[in-house]
Structure 1
Amino acid sequence: MADRGESPMEKITEKFHEEDSSSSSSSDSDDEKKTSSFQSDKFRLFGRQKPVHKVLGGGKPADVFLWRDKKISAGVLGGASAIWVLFDVLEYHFITLVCHALILVLAVLFLWSNASTFINKSSPHIPEVHIPEEPVLEIASALRIEINRAFSILREIASGKDLKMFLFAIAGLWILSIVGSCCSFLTLFYIAFFLLHTVPVIYEKYEDHVDGFAEKAMIEIKKQYVVFDEKVLSKIPRGPLKYKKKD
């Protein structure tokens, strides 16, 4: 059963996990052992309180990202790499690809239908293809909730209550704008997809070493922030926002 504080995206991935629990039962048992032995008092990157598999939502998506099944993970990453090379490197247009694929499918089905009618004196059964409504509605609802949550976070940052969060948001958006100006959206999406298939599995393997190094780095960053706060931020005049009530 999912936790009450679980996000909609985690609920969707949990549903896929329940549909095929036999394929990932071994990984679930491993995760339960890791959860029971997880040390909450030890420093963990980003303050996480769960194993990496649970942080990624659990189920099939987490199994793919953490390479529980190397064939499936390699196939997904290989497919994404092929799409990136096809559209970004070779500059093959999406509409052109769709049209060519439909031409090929229609030609094959047309020839197959006529050949079967000529040989077997009966028309072949072409299966109907349709998109189920429930998964689409669930994904759309989850995306809507996540987008609204992002808007809420941006509103909280813009309210001026947390200066540290504001500076981190500005720095992150500035870095993202620089990266976005150097490559296309598809390349940026592929880089994020590639990192999602490599960084978590490497981190899970060497998490103790990474967490130890991250703890030292966070201590140093906090020291530098205290110095920056005393010399710069504390000298900036700030006051609480006052709202005038309308009659």
Structure 2
Amino acid sequence: MAGIGDSWSASSSPRRRTCVVIGGRGFVGRWLVLELLKLGKWIVRVADSDESPQLDPSAEWDAFLSQAISSGLASYHHLDVRDKSSVLRVIKGSQAVFYTDVTDLFGQDVYDSYMIIVQGVKNVINACRECKVKRLIYNSSADVVFDGSRDINGGNESLPYPWKYADMLSDLRAQAEALVLFANDIDGLLTCALRPSNIFGPGDTQLVPTVVKLAQSGWMKFIIGGGENKCDFTYIENVAHAHICAEEALCSRIVSVAGKAFFITNNEPVKFWEFTSLLLEGLGYQRPSIKLPVSMVYYFCLLLEGIYESLGITKNSYMLSARHSVQIASRNRTFDSSAARKQVEYLPIVSLEDGIARTIASFSHYSRDSFYGGQGDFPEHSKADWMLGGGKVADILLWRDEKETFTYFLVSEVLFYWFFISGRSFISSTAYLLLMMTMALFGYGHLTSYLFDKTASFSCFDIQKSVVEKLLGSIISLWNRGVHIMRSLAHGEDWNIFFETAVAMYFLKLIVSYYLTFAVGAALVGSFTCFFIYEQYELEIDALEKVLISGMKTLKGWLGSFLPLSTMLHHGKQDLWHEDSSKCQKIVCNDH
């Protein structure tokens, strides 16, 4: 971005042509406008769905655009591609049209997404024909040939469109691309489409922010599959450069370019998880290290989507489903861009390494230091962390350190097998364990004195006085709580405690009598998974909890209808007394 203003001021041409960049305030459109203005050959009409350009003076490209607008070399136009008259008004008098993403599809349903992407392209094509525009370049995506069911290794333009897509956005873009290519050479309009693969760079609103948010929430610790799958990534400045090359090619090499689509990449295929790791490391996050089977993650996402649907949580049409995200992260998706090199004369102007470095620098506000410094959009401590006390137990159960947590989990599984599944009685298992510990300690002490000529130190077995006092305090607190409950039961007036205690004792009887081994195993696995899952899906689980609590209150009211009237009146008086007490406390607090 350095030297933008100098490059623009140095370039001057007496005859400038007029072009329109539809979606000029989007990720691709913004960079394309910048590159067009730097050439000094164009008067650029920036068209987007926002009422105003919303320029940020602190952003270098916005300052550059503001300068261009002031000098008459650029102009901004509000555009609704669903309105043909609006499209005609913006396009009229231009020689070339670049069509990029016109709006953010967040919150749009299937119908609106179709109208914006497919119907919008139809309106643009018709407007170009009516206004005698010579060239139309459409920014498509390499995903239009990917259905998620197979790898793509060095795919070229001969790949057909899939019969079925895993996500709605790719389906709609494929329809729009086909319309653009079919419109070629009708009423003098020349068209072509570019298919960039995995665009990234400064100003990215999808790839990099998604990866960072997953890292902040703890999900980027995992690698889906073996981690060897390769993908092509394309730096944003190369994508903008490819659009300019395509327009120039339509002017001179009509037969070989017009009506065709071209894959655009950095020509540097890289392992998907290596690229992700480089981004995360550059921003201070941990590299993904835990490998999970693709099938396991796929069916987990399938279960998760079912839970979402049962809770009434629906995804927008543009969003990739969880299963499709798994396919993207685990499949090979590399493309051959030699056709673009030969026909369009496109070559990357920024290498992948430099592109990653520039991207990391531009997203410094997403770094780990900013996130944990409280400058991010997320709370420093999650609710799950608070419930676990925010100490060592929380760090273990929330997988803060994977190796440490896995060690504790493995030891717990061994002890579970030793005491519950081995077939021995609890006393026999304890005796065997103590015998093995005795032999191990004796052997350790003997070997250290024999090999190193010194006695082993066992200070690690010492327990600090404060730890013992804290443990005894917890035991005393539990004892006092139990005594309080027994006193309430002895009075025979608190039906709430009676029902809670009776149900708890009944389930405890069932567990101890029949399902003790299963219950301990489930509790062991659940403790290492439930809190971690709750931390990731806190809002959804809390919503389900509210539904369950509401149902329990209804059941409690139904059971209460069978109680004697005197008991109900007694509880009514207690509730009124508690309510009056609360009101009095509020009045006293307000007076103070």
Q: Which residue of 2 aligns with 1:217?
A: 548
Quick check: 1:52–1:200 contact (8 Å CA) kept in 2? yes
Question: Does residue 205 in structure 1 map to residue 536 in structure 2?
Answer: yes
Quick check: 2:397–2:405 contact (8 Å CA) kept in 1? yes
Q: Which residue of 1 aligns with 2:484?
A: 152
Structure 2 distance, partners of 1:35, 1:162, is 41
Q: Quote how far apart the aligned CAs of 1:144 are.
A: 1.7
Which one of the candidate residues 502, 521, 526 is aligned to 1:195?
A: 526
What per-residue deviation string (whole Å, max 9, x for no partner) do you get for residues 179-218 of structure 1? 110144x764454333222222222222222222222233
Where structure 2 has 5 or more consecutive residues not aligned to the other structure, the ranges are: 1-368, 571-592
Q: Which residue of 1 aligns with 2:401?
A: 69
Q: Which residue of 1 aligns with 2:412?
A: 80
Amino acid at match of 1:107: G
Quick check: 2:445–2:455 contact (8 Å CA) kept in 1? no
Could you state the TM-score of these two structures normalised by the residue count of structure 1? 0.64
Taking structure 1 as reference, are residues 228 and 99 closer, same or farther at Cα in structure 2, changes over 3 Å only?
A: closer
Quick check: 1:27–1:68 contact (8 Å CA) kept in 2? no
Question: Does residue 54 in structure 1 map to residue 389 in structure 2?
Answer: no
Q: Which residue of 2 aligns with 1:181?
A: 513
- Paired residues for 1:221-236 under 5 Å: 221-230=552-561, 232-234=562-564
Amino acid at match of 1:34: P
Quick check: 1:35–1:51 contact (8 Å CA) kept in 2? no
Structure 2 distance, partners of 1:137, 1:124, is 34
Could you state the TM-score of these two structures normalised by the residue count of structure 2? 0.29
* 2:389 counterpart SS class: coil
Q: Could you say which structure has the greater relative contact order, defined with CA pairs below 8 angstroms and 6 or more residues apart? A: 1
* Count of matched residue pairs: 195
Structure 2 distance, partners of 1:114, 1:35, is 51
Structure 1 distance, partners of 2:518, 2:558, is 38
Q: Which residue of 2 aligns with 1:47?
A: none
- Residue identity over aligned pairs, in percent, reads 19
* 1:200 counterpart SS class: helix
Q: Which residue of 1 aligns with 2:379?
A: 34
Structure 2 distance, partners of 1:218, 1:207, is 16
The structure that is strand-richer by fraction is 2
Question: Does residue 139 in structure 1 map to residue 475 in structure 2?
Answer: no
Which one of the candidate residues 450, 456, 477 is aligned to 1:126?
A: 456
Question: Does residue 166 in structure 1 map to residue 490 in structure 2?
Answer: no
Instruction: Tell me the C-alpha RMSD between the 2 structures.
Output: 3.5
Taking structure 1 as reference, are residues 160 and 203 closer, same or farther at Cα in structure 2, changes over 3 Å only?
A: farther
What per-residue deviation string (whole Å, max 9, x for no partner) do you get for residues 15-66 of structure 1? xxxxxxxxxx987969x95389xxxxxxxxxxxxx82211221122112122
